[in-house]
Amino acid sequence: MYEHHQTPLLPRRVFYRRVGRHAVIAVAILLAALGVGMVGYHHFEGVTWIDAYVDAAMILSGMGPLGDLHTDGGKIFAGCYALFSGVVFLSTIGVFLAPIVHRLFHKFHMAEERSAPPAQSK
């Protein structure tokens, strides 16, 4: 998926395009997770779509729900959604940062190869 460590760094324009693609994927993952939360809160708690959005967004961001949960189904959903949201949040950060971290490692590896003394043959 990414260039080999022996190939030169990508031009900045191509690198920025790669970061942009990863950002779009990260936003799509967050929107899908937000949609799951909205549908769940709307279905299990019977709240309006706006309230479902607020509760799902707050859980997804790690803040916690705003309103009290009234049904057992809603409470079970909220617990499962909170666990799911933690994994989604961390995974999304990984998706977004992957090309940046790869470029840094690639750059450090290239600098290390330039500064290493040449190997001596026997």
- Give residue 116's pLDDT: 59
Task: Output the CATH code of domain 12-114.
Answer: 1.10.287.70
**What are the residues whose beta carbons fall under 8 Å from the beta carbon of 92, sequence distance 6 or more?**
26, 29, 30
Q: Which two structure tokens, joined as six digits, stand for 87?
A: 């994994």
In this model, does residue 112 exceed pLDDT 60? no
Burial of 39 (0-12, 13-18, 19+ CB in 10 A): middle
Encoded tokens for 1: 């998926």
pLDDT bracket for residue 107 (50, 70, 90) = confident
Concatenating the DSSP letter of every residue in 37-66 gives HHHHHHHHH---HHHHHHHHHHHHTTS--S
pLDDT at 92 over 90: yes
What is the chain's length?
Answer: 122
Q: Is the pLDDT of residue 11 over 60?
A: yes
Do 40 and 77 contact (CB within 8 A), yes or no?
yes
**Which pLDDT score, from 0 to 100, does residue 57 have?**
95
Sequence spans of domains, the chain: 12-114
Q: Is the pLDDT of residue 47 over 90?
A: yes
